[in-house]
Structure formats: C-alpha cells, structure tokens
Amino acid sequence: DAGVTQSPTHLIKTRGQQVTLRCSPISGHKSVSWYQQVLGQGPQFIFQYYEKEERGRGNFPDRFSARQFPNYSSELNVNALLLGDSALYLCASSWGQREKLFFGSGTQLSVL
C-alpha cells in the first residue's frame, strides 16, 4: 500500500533558478496539498488542489505555482529562487470526502 510519494528527496539550487517538485498521492485520493516547513517550525500551507482545480492558496508570492494532473499527481513550481525558499516541501493527499491528510516524506530544497 503505497503512501504519498515525492521526488526528488533532496535538491540543491542557486538563487534565481527555478525548481519543480513532484508528488503522487495515495491511490484513490483526489486532493493534493503543498506545505513548506522551515526548520524548527510547523508546516505552512501553500496550495490545495481538488479534482484538478485550485481550491486554496496560502500567503506565498506568485513565484510559487502548482498544478494537478488528470491522474491526480501534482507539481509545485518555484521561480526566481531566494535563499529564504530553503525548506522542506511537503505534499499531502486526502480522499475527496474525507478529512485526514496524509503526508509524503518531502523534498528538502537548499538554495545557495
């Protein structure tokens, strides 16, 4: 029974570059959410997608964008990377009618 899978696990980028993070939800789950977790803090909500439509957006700049594909997988894109974007990016999925969020192991992004 596969959980939420994310790729890559680690990524090193330099300032100004662009990055794409990928997430595959638990089979049958139609909702995907993205969170940013800075070391020592709780996760911060970035986006939520349900049935391929954006349903929620957190307080992040327009450099952050996402999309959900017909198979319910998702990508998070971050343009013009800043040092402050260094964090663990977590993807979580849930079934449309259920309320429990299940997280992936995350992508650790380091911006140098």
Partner 1 sequence: GENVEQHPSTLSVQEGDSAVIKCTYSDSASNYFPWYKQELGKRPQLIIDIRSNVGEKKDQRIAVTLNKTAKHFSLHITETQPEDSAVYFCAASIRAGGTSYGKLTFGQGTILTVHP
- CB-nearer residue toward partner 1: 3 or 11: 3
Please pick, from the candidates 68, 106, 109, 111, the single residue that binds partner 1 as defined by CB under 8 A: 106
Q: How far is the CB of 16 from partner 1 (least distance, A)?
A: 28
The reply to whether 105 sits near partner 1 by the rule CB under 8 A is yes
**H-run or E-run covering 23:** strand 19-24
- Within a 13 Å sphere around the CA of 65, how many CA atoms are in the beta-carbon half? 7
The reply to whether 50 sits near partner 1 by the rule CB under 8 A is yes
CA-to-CA separations, 94 to 27, 72, 79, 98, 100, in angstroms, rounded: 10, 11, 27, 7, 6
- CB-nearer residue toward partner 1: 19 or 34: 34
Cβ atoms within 10 A of the Cβ of 78, count? 24
Which amino acid belongs to residue 60?
F
The reply to whether 97 sits near partner 1 by the rule CB under 8 A is yes
Q: Which residues bind partner 1 (CB under 8 A)?
A: 3-4, 31-33, 35, 40-45, 48, 50, 55-56, 58, 90, 92, 94-106
